[in-house]
């Protein structure tokens, strides 16, 4: 059997390796999703060799510096058990591990997709890819859009565009924090440190390379970066102005996580989401995974996990299809391929909807008028519910 020609668009294929070396923060990979994908790819041991289980800890401060929760010392109530088993890994390490596992030449670097066009070959449709450099690749039986928030593949399947989530702010990095400021380093701890004010947040995360990445996020308008009057071309002044405007009631340590950041630029970052329950009618030969299918704001911390879960389920469907095709007539292969993709999509729509609902719930907790108290209460309630369910399972008494 001739294998179907499959193209995966994205997965960093439009970036150069050198650019990406400087990108992105730490990720926690979850047991039931990303870790399963790594196991099936035979990469779990490699992942565990670089993973940081010690980074699975959270601290929550009030803007005045009062510590509400510190999972490393047991102050406040720990998050429910469902948050366990999620070791941290730097994006660059994860990416290198995934790329190194592929045969050389699998990724075509620097090919930016402009459009996908369909042509008929016999009774079946196939797809041609047109790239920004003027080149074309032809006759793909399946095109998988893994090209993120502003996917060029999505418009062939869905008219829906990502919508502004209401959250905007800045993203900065403080390198080598232990050497630069030991007190700040202690403030952040080994994992994630949140300083939660009324609708205004500083989210800081330690990375394996010794830097701390911080996000100053709040409820703002989509065009805020252009209209707020901050001169982004002068990063040092921009950070001061930003903090003076929005973080006056935050303590100096939390502000220093932004002030002492050493990036050459300060990046305003509006957050976008596709609507909860985004889906499309199945179309043979085309599909989406990851942010292209269901971009979510990062407040449930699931985007990469869901993207890897998508990849896992699509791969399983395609492998099952290959096995069926090996036993059937060639003329039915396109139909089997289409059914395999449809199976992946139907299950993915259900999963993505649940994750998107969670994301909105966490967004409201991150930007709550009662700040960190609302999030701590949420964790306590969830924990109580989970304990109740576990007790119910042990005694056989159903939860009311």
Which residue shows structure tokens 């306590």? 380
Q: Could you tell me the smallest distance in angstroms from the CB atom of residue 148 to ligand FAD?
A: 3
The number of residues that bind ligand FAD (CB under 6 A) is: 26
Say if CB 387 and CB 379 are below 8 A apart. no
Per CB under 6 A, 372 contacts ligand FAD: no
Contact between 266 and ligand FAD by CB under 6 A: the answer reads no
Rule CB under 6 A: is residue 216 a binding residue for ligand FAD?
Answer: no
Is 333 or 362 the residue whose CB approaches ligand FAD more closely?
A: 362
HSE value, Cβ hemisphere, 13 Å, CA-based, for 266? 24
Give the interface segment with ligand FAD, choosing from 6-14, 39-47, 277-285, 344-352 (CB under 6 A).
6-14
Q: Which is nearer to ligand FAD, 133 or 398 (CB)?
A: 133
Burial class (CB in 10 A: 0-12, 13-18, 19+), 135: exposed
Neighbours of 383 (CB within 10 A): 17
- Of 325 and 363, which has the nearer Cβ to ligand FAD? 363
Q: State how far the Cα of 244 lies from the Cα of 229, in Å rounded to an integer.
A: 13
Q: Using the rule CB under 6 A, is 302 a contact of ligand FAD?
A: yes
> Contact at 8 Å (CB) between 75 and 210?
no
Q: Is 212 in the site for ligand FAD (CB under 6 A)?
A: no
DSSP letter assigned to residue 277: T
Q: How far apart are CA 201 and CA 214, in angstroms?
A: 10
* 74 Rama sector, left if φ>0, alpha if ψ -120 to 50, beta otherwise: left
Q: Does 304 bind ligand FAD (CB under 6 A)?
A: yes
Q: How far is the CB of 205 from ligand FAD (least distance, A)?
A: 7
Candidate segments 155-163, 303-311, 327-335, 383-391, binder of ligand FAD by CB under 6 A? 303-311
Tokens of 226: 């252009």
What is the DSSP secondary structure assignment for residue 378, as one 8-state letter?
H
Q: Which is nearer to ligand FAD, 68 or 113 (CB)?
A: 113
Q: What is the DSSP string of 37-77?
A: HHHHTT-HHHHHHH-BGGG--EEEE-TTS-EEEETTTTBSP
Q: Is residue 258 close enough to count as binding ligand FAD by CB under 6 A?
A: no
Tokens coding 159: 């008219």
Cβ neighbours of 346 (radius 10 Å) = 11
Entry field: residues in the chain: 400
**Backbone phi, psi, residue 217, to 5°:** -115, 150
Per rule CB under 6 A, is residue 243 in the interface with ligand FAD?
no
368 part of the interface to ligand FAD, by CB under 6 A: no
**Smallest distance from ligand FAD to CB 14, Å:** 3
Q: Which stretch binds ligand FAD (CB under 6 A): 55-63, 276-284, 289-297, 392-400?
A: 289-297
Indicate the residue among 58 and 325 with the shorter CB distance to ligand FAD: 58
CA 303/CA 294 separation, integer angstroms: 9
Of these, 76, 285, 301, 371, which contacts ligand FAD (CB under 6 A)? 301
Closer of 113 and 286 to ligand FAD (Cβ): 113
> Using the rule CB under 6 A, is 10 a contact of ligand FAD?
yes
Q: Which is nearer to ligand FAD, 29 or 325 (CB)?
A: 29
Paired sense of beta strands 267-268 and 136-140, if any: unpaired
Binding mask 155-194 for ligand FAD (x = CB under 6 A): ----------------x-----------------------
> Can you tell me the distance from the alpha carbon of 257 to that of 280, in angstroms, rounded to the nearest whole number?
42
User: Could you say which of 189, 303, 371, 372 contacts ligand FAD (CB under 6 A)?
Assistant: 303
Considering only residues 24 through 43, tell me which ones interact with ligand FAD, judged by CB under 6 A. 27
Binding status of residue 112 toward ligand FAD by CB under 6 A:
yes
Single residue of 147, 253, 309, 345 touching ligand FAD by CB under 6 A: 147
Taking Cα atoms as reference points, which of 165, 153, 164, 166 lies closest to residue 293? Answer: 153
The only residue of 14, 33, 35, 254 in contact with ligand FAD, by rule CB under 6 A: 14
Task: Report the distance separating Cα 81 and Cα 88, nearest Å.
Answer: 16
Residue closer to ligand FAD by CB (options 216, 333) is 216
Question: Which residues form the interface with ligand FAD (CB under 6 A)?
Answer: 9-15, 27, 112-113, 146-148, 152, 171, 215, 290-292, 298, 301-305, 307
């Amino acid at each position: 059997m001739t294998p179907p020609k499959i193209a995966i668009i994205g997965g960093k294929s439009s970036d150069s390796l050198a650019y990406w070396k400087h990108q992105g923060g730490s990720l926690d990979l979850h047991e039931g999703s990303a870790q399963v994908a790594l196991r099936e790819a035979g990469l779990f041991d490699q992942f565990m060799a670089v993973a940081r289980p010690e980074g699975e800890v959270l601290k929550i401060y009030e803007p005045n510096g009062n510590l509400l929760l510190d999972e490393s010392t047991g102050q406040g109530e720990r998050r429910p058990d469902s948050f366990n088993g999620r070791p941290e890994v730097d994006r660059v390490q994860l990416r290198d591990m995934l790329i190194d596992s592929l045969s050389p030449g699998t990724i075509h670097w620097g090919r930016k997709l402009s459009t996908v066009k369909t042509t008929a070959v016999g009774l079946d449709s196939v797809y041609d890819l047109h790239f920004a450099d003027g080149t074309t690749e032809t006759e793909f039986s399946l095109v998988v859009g893994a090209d993120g928030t502003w996917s060029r593949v999505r418009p062939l399947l869905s008219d829906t565009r990502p919508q502004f989530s209401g959250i905007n702010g800045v993203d900065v990095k403080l390198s080598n924090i232990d050497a630069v400021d030991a007190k700040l380093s202690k403030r952040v701890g080994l994992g994630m440190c949140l300083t939660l004010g009324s609708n205004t947040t500083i989210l800081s995360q330690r990375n394996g390379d010794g830097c701390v990445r911080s996000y100053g996020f709040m409820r703002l308008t989509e065009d805020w970066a252009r209209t707020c009057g901050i001169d982004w071309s002068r990063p040092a002044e921009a950070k001061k102005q930003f903090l003076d405007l929005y973080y006056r009631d935050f303590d100096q340590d939390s502000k220093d996580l932004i002030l002492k950041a050493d990036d050459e630029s300060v990046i305003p970052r509006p957050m976008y989401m596709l609507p909860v329950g985004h889906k499309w009618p199945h179309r043979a030969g085309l599909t989406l995974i990851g942010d292209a299918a269901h971009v979510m704001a990062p407040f449930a911390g699931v985007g990469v996990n869901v993207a890897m879960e998508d990849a896992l389920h699509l791969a399983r469907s395609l492998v099952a299809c290959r096995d069926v095709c090996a036993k059937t007539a060639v003329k039915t292969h396109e139909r089997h391929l289409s059914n395999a993709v449809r199976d992946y999509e139907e299950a993915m729509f259900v999963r993505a909807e649940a994750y998107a609902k969670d994301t909105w719930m966490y967004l409201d907790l991150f930007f709550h008028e009662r700040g960190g108290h609302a999030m701590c209460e949420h964790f306590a309630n969830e924990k109580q519910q989970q304990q109740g369910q576990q007790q119910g399972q042990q005694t056989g008494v159903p939860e009311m």
